[in-house]
């Protein structure tokens, strides 16, 4: 993107000069003013061309939206670039030629092209590799600045990743048979609050003992107040989702074989739950996809935080759009 620093006098001329002074303005016109920099119409048109070219050389061959939409998006991107460039200057962040060359090589590889084929593809669409490098340098600079300014705002926990995973697999699991087990610590209907608290503490202590190595089945036989299932080590038998109380069914739906959880409160009392098995649904367990999900959610949240950060910059920077 071509930028020119505005002197205070030029700022005054842009806003207050009479038409007789129009010869002070760049020949191709000003698209926007961002702080003390200008974005020319030629900058916008060049960015529009690059956007359309990227769509055309993409393996998916995307169709470009109407020109007005491409122009608006191009201008907004250039405004963002200007804001980021100003921040980069303050932070003394730069992009090396080697980083640009490496990124171009990766882009060509992603499109199944060698560098010369990629160059030819760009030229066939009306741009040069050098022009593309300018755009790539801007993108890399934005990435560096964003990562330094925004990355600390993003922290995707394993718990959040698990919630996302569960939301994606519940529908599949609703058609799969499962076998669960429970230990019930019954809470009398007329129990006082202090008694309920003590029974919950007992449940928590049992969970810790099992996690510490005690046998779930033995604890069920000796501690569960559900005498029907206690004799079977707490096993509830093979069931389909919906065949047991909803408060327990919904928890089992989000569990994986061998997993222990609790205490879970129901009208009967506190339950310690263990999923024994589930019919194979072809879904990979959370442990195998956890890192992928965390990566995807991190990227999505980074994009959201980047947009919020750019909005913050826009609010505190003078911006005048002239098209």
CATH T-level assignment (fold) for domain 176-278 = Chitinase A; domain 3 (3.10.50)
Angle value at C-alpha 183, between 179 and 186, nearest 5 degrees: 130
Q: Where do the structural domains in the chain lie, given as residue ranges?
A: 8-155+298-321, 176-278
- Closest residue by Cα to residue 240 from 323, 285, 147, 177: 177
* Contact (CB, 8 A) for 31 and 19: no
Mean pLDDT of the chain: 86
pTM above the 0.95 mark? Answer: no
Q: What is the pLDDT of residue 121?
A: 87
Q: What is the pLDDT of residue 287?
A: 93
Spans of the chain below 70 pLDDT: 1-27, 56-62, 64
What beta strand segments (E) does the chain contain? 30-34, 37-40, 178-186, 235-239, 260-266, 269-278, 319-321
Q: What is the pLDDT of residue 58?
A: 62
Q: What is the pLDDT of residue 18?
A: 29
Q: What is the pLDDT of residue 201?
A: 97
The total number of residues written for the chain in this structure: 323
Give CA separation, 291 vs 165, 285, 296, 300, 302, in Å. Answer: 11, 12, 9, 14, 16
8-155+298-321 falls under which CATH superfamily?
Porin chaperone SurA, peptide-binding domain (1.10.4030.10)
* CA dihedral (302, 69, 72, 75) positive or negative: positive
Strand partners, 144: none
Helix residue ranges per DSSP H, 212-236? 216-223, 227-230
Strands 235-239 and 260-266: unpaired
Which residue is associated with the tokens 């989702």? 241
pLDDT in tens, 14-35: 332 323 333 444 447 899 999 9
Tokens of 248: 């327990």
Rounded CA-CA distance 266/268 in Å is 5
Task: Kindly report whether the peptide bond that precedes residue 263 is cis, defined as omega within 30 degrees of 0.
Answer: yes
Which residue is associated with the tokens 């939409």? 69
Q: What is the pLDDT of residue 33?
A: 93
Which strand (E) or helix (H) includes residue 114? Answer: none
Q: What is the pLDDT of residue 70?
A: 86
Q: What is the pLDDT of residue 1?
A: 36
């Amino acid at each position: 993107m071509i930028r020119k620093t505005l002197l205070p006098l030029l700022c005054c001329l842009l806003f207050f000069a009479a038409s007789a002074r129009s010869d002070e303005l760049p020949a191709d016109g000003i698209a926007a003013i961002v702080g003390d920099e200008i974005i020319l119409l030629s900058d916008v048109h060049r960015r529009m061309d690059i956007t359309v070219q990227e769509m055309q050389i993409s393996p998916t061959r995307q169709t470009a939206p109407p020109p007005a939409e491409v122009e608006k998006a191009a201008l907004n991107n250039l405004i963002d670039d200007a804001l980021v460039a100003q921040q980069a200057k303050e932070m003394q962040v730069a992009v090396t030629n080697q980083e640009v060359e490496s990124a171009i090589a990766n882009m060509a590889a992603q499109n199944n092209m060698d560098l010369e084929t990629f160059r030819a593809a760009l030229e066939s669409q009306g741009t040069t590799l050098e022009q593309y490098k300018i755009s790539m340098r801007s993108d890399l600079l934005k990435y560096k600045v964003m990562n330094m300014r925004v990355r600390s705002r993003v922290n995707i926990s394993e718990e959040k990743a698990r919630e996302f995973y569960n939301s994606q697999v519940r529908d599949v699991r609703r058609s799969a048979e499962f076998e669960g087990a429970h230990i019930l610590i019954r809470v009398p209907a007329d129990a006082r609050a202090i008694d309920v608290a003590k029974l919950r503490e007992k449940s928590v202590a049992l969970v810790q003992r099992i996690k510490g190595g005690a046998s779930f089945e033995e604890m069920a036989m000796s501690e569960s107040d559900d005498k029907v299932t206690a004799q079977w080590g707490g096993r509830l038998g093979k069931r389909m989702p919906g065949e047991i109380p909803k408060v327990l069914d919904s928890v089992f739906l989000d569990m994986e074989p061998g997993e222990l959880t609790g205490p879970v409160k129901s009208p009967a009392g506190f339950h310690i739950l263990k999923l024994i098995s589930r019919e194979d649904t072809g879904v990979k367990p959370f442990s195998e996809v956890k890192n992928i999900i965390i990566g995807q959610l991190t990227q999505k949240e980074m994009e959201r935080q980047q947009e919020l950060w750019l909005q913050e910059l826009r609010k505190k920077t003078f911006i005048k759009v002239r098209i």
